[in-house]
Amino acid sequence: MRVGIIGAGPAGLMAAISAADKGWQVSLIEQNKDIGCKLLISGGGRCNITNTLFGPEFLERFREYGRFFKPAFMSFSNEDAIRFFEENGLALKEEDGRIFPASGKAKDVVDFFRQQIAKRSISTLLGNRVYSLEKEGDMFVVYLRGMGPLTFDRLIVATGGASFSSKCCTDGRSFDLLRKMGHTITELIPHLCSLNTEEDLVSLKGITIKDVVLRHTCPLHKLVERGSIIFTHDGISGPAVHNISRFLLTCRGTLNIDLLPSLDFERLREKVVGLFQDHPKRSLRNIVNKILPDALIVFLLASLDLPLNKKVTNLSRSEVHRLVSGIKFFPLKIASGPPLEWAFVTHGGVDVREVNPNTIESRIVKGMYFAGEVLEPSGPTGGFNIQFALSTGFLAGQLR
């Protein structure tokens, strides 16, 4: 059986290996001049392959898509991925649950896949853009620029999303081809990206808070995310922001930030009052900057209409309450996100309702399968999205 795979990112590469190991004749088509373009730039050039989080917890990180992802994950889990890389010669290391190549170089992951492709004599057609897809009877016809059409018994689409188009040619054109084949493409939304706020945060640029809790309420989703954030010249960034960015760009509204989540409201009030009692003659600014960066305190106090230089002994009970509330519920209004091509990941794609999760086969076009970011779901930072690509790629390659 001849199997065509469009896209040589992690999903397409894993699909090719999976299909070849079943004994089928595999052709891997990639519009870039080499394989694994996005792997090379993932994880800041270090390539966070997967995460060690336990199975059910791993799936929970995909929120509403966990149920769809489960069959693929069960067929090729994070434990399977780690075993696959190590048993085939790629040394790995763990950092806080995240798995990287031991060398810390994404290039080694791409080289690993290159070796696995060559080992299996998988045909690679690099620098070839697909400009048309057709199904004639039971056969798929793939039209490439610069060469004649190719025919396949089965087709796996692993063309990615629409992010990083300038670096990896992932411009989303494949979605147009899939629409013509009858598939629904859900709205494409930037994910794992920084966000712009209505507030002017220039004075906070560069400040990092290592532990915060973000809270936001969207229809059907009550968002709570804990992690670090970074203030930028026009908004906020960092892992905690990235992980819920797709929701915030859909819902907008006000994001509340707990700047000191290690203390509940009452314990923080007691800590603040204790500092005031120990240093009654100091100004409000000179006390509160013991627990938060000074520039953030200046911004926060101004937003709360609390004078910077007011002696703490002169603060009223209501002003103390207002200060503690401001620290525990620091509000920012979400204005916008970056262009889709600047995001790390595209959320949205082939509607999962049109895909059989047990096989990753299209419910619309028999014999066509999907893998990776071309599908609707997206996960958080930490190796989850590459694992999604590997798992769906492996299952797609089984051609069940």
- Position 152 scores a pLDDT of 98
217: pLDDT strictly greater than 90:
no
Contact 76, 390 (CB under 8 A): yes
Encode pLDDT of 169-216 as tens digits.
Answer: 678 889 999 999 999 999 999 999 999 999 999 999 999 999 999 999
Domain boundary among 321, 337, 353: 337
Q: Give the position of tokens 């794609």.
A: 349
Q: Are residues 150 and 11 in the same domain?
A: yes
Domain boundary among 337, 369, 385: 337
- Position 289 scores a pLDDT of 87
Encode pLDDT of 333-354 as tens digits.
Answer: 999 999 888 889 999 999 999 9
Q: Are residues 78 and 167 in the same domain?
A: yes
Q: Give the position of tokens 């397409």.
A: 12
Q: Are residues 356 and 269 in the same domain?
A: no
Confidence of residue 387 (pLDDT cuts 50, 70, 90): very high
Q: Are residues 139 and 63 in the same domain?
A: yes
151: pLDDT strictly greater than 80:
yes
Instruction: Give the mean pLDDT of 317-346.
Output: 93
Residues 6+ apart with CB under 8 A from 221: 63, 64, 247
**In the structure, how many helices (H) and strands (E) does the chain have?**
15, 21
The CATH number given to whatever domain includes residue 293 is 1.10.8.100
Q: Are residues 252 and 307 in the same domain?
A: yes
Q: Are residues 175 and 208 in the same domain?
A: no
Residue 188 corresponds to which tokens in the numbers above?
Answer: 């494409």
- Position 138 scores a pLDDT of 94
**Rounded CA gap, 285 and 297, in Å?**
7
The CATH number given to whatever domain includes residue 180 is 3.50.50.60
Q: Measure the CA dihedral 340/177/7/349, to 10°.
A: 40
- Position 170 scores a pLDDT of 77
Q: Which domain holds residue 71?
A: 2-189+340-398
220: pLDDT strictly greater than 70:
no
Q: Are residues 289 and 376 in the same domain?
A: no
- Position 64 scores a pLDDT of 93
> DSSP letter at 311?
B
Encode pLDDT of 105-133 as tens digits.
Answer: 999 999 999 999 999 999 999 999 999 99
- Amino acid residing at 208: T
- Position 305 scores a pLDDT of 94
SS3 label, residue 280: coil
Instruction: Give the mean pLDDT of 134-148.
Output: 92
Report the percent of the chain where pLDDT is more than 90: 86
What number of other Cβ atoms are within 10 A of residue 309's Cβ? 10
Q: Are residues 242 and 144 in the same domain?
A: no
Domain boundary among 337, 359, 381: 337
**Rounded CA gap, 64 and 117, in Å?**
34
- Position 209 scores a pLDDT of 97
Q: Are residues 285 and 325 in the same domain?
A: yes
Q: Give the position of tokens 């060398």.
A: 103
Instruction: Give the mean pLDDT of 124-148.
Output: 93
Q: Are residues 56 and 81 in the same domain?
A: yes
Distances from the Cα of 137 to the Cαs of 26, 152, 341, 366, in angstroms?
Answer: 20, 11, 36, 11
Q: Which residue has the higher pLDDT, 219 or 68?
A: 68
Distances from the Cα of 169 to the Cαs of 32, 128, 227, in angstroms?
Answer: 7, 11, 32
168: pLDDT strictly greater than 90:
no
Confidence of residue 222 (pLDDT cuts 50, 70, 90): confident
Number of domains in the chain: 2
Confidence of residue 298 (pLDDT cuts 50, 70, 90): very high
The pTM of the full predicted model, rounded to 2 decimals, is 0.93
Q: Are residues 273 and 355 in the same domain?
A: no
269: pLDDT strictly greater than 90:
yes
Q: Are residues 280 and 376 in the same domain?
A: no
- Position 34 scores a pLDDT of 94
Q: What is the mean pLDDT of the chain?
A: 94
- Position 166 scores a pLDDT of 66
